[in-house]
Amino acid sequence: MAEKNLEDLFHETLKDIYYAERKILKALPRMARGASSQKLKSAFEKHKDETEEHVERLQQVFEIIGKRPRAKTCPAIDGIIEEGEEVMEAFKGAPALDAGLLAAAQAVEHYEISRYGTLRSWAEQLGYKDAVKLLDQTLTEEAKTDESLTKLAETAVNTAAQKAA
């Protein structure tokens, strides 16, 4: 059996983030419905639209490397999403719900940022120039989403949760 190399690792990690993005697509509408802040709802809805584009870009990356788009179960994203669902259940109707949802969303963003940064670096190493562009575009969007969530937390959501206490 041939030894696994960086190309194999790239493909496996690509399948991982493909699963994660598709799972996130299903979770975002639930999170938007659960949020009481209109700004947070809007942020989740906007990110859902971006996530659809991320899935399309990943499909293009699979095409670039000559592989069929296929997902591989990602226990990390399953766990992060499960934590978000637990927050929605435990804090339903509570003033801190939006702060909890926002924190869960940022955990998702941080996971994605980590994966896309790694994949972009590996794509550079492997000479997949077109994949680098696609992965970098998504990485930039994920970082901007994280920044906007931080701003929303610091300017509105966390304060609202604290005032209600």
pLDDT value for 2 = 78
Considering its fold, how many domains does the chain have in total? Answer: 1
Mean pLDDT taken over the chain: 95
Contacts of 80 (CB under 8 A, 6+ apart): 104, 107, 108, 111
- Residue 120 domain-assigned? yes
Q: Which tokens go with 24?
A: 């996130």
User: What are the pLDDT digits (tens) for 107-158?
Assistant: 999 999 999 999 999 999 999 999 999 999 999 999 999 999 999 999 999 9
User: How far, in Å, CA of 40 to CA of 46, rounded?
Assistant: 10
Kindly tell me if the per-residue pLDDT of 1 is higher than 80. no
Residue 54 lies in a domain: yes
For the cut 70, the answer to whether the pLDDT of residue 36 exceeds it is: yes
Domain annotation covers residue 1:
no
Instruction: Tell whether pTM > 0.75.
Output: yes
pLDDT score at 95:
87
Given a cut of 70, whether residue 164 has pLDDT beyond it is no
CATH of the domain at 113: 1.20.1260.10
pLDDT in tens, 52-72: 999 999 999 999 999 999 999
Q: How far apart are the C-alpha atoms of 136 and 138, rounded to whole Å?
A: 5
Q: Tell me whether residue 68 is in a domain.
A: yes
Sequence-ordered alpha helix ranges (H) in 35-163: 38-64, 75-90, 97-126, 129-152, 158-163
- What residues make up the domain containing 71? 6-163
Q: And the tokens for 38?
A: 């209109």
Distances (CA, A) of 71 to 12, 43, 90, 159: 9, 26, 31, 39
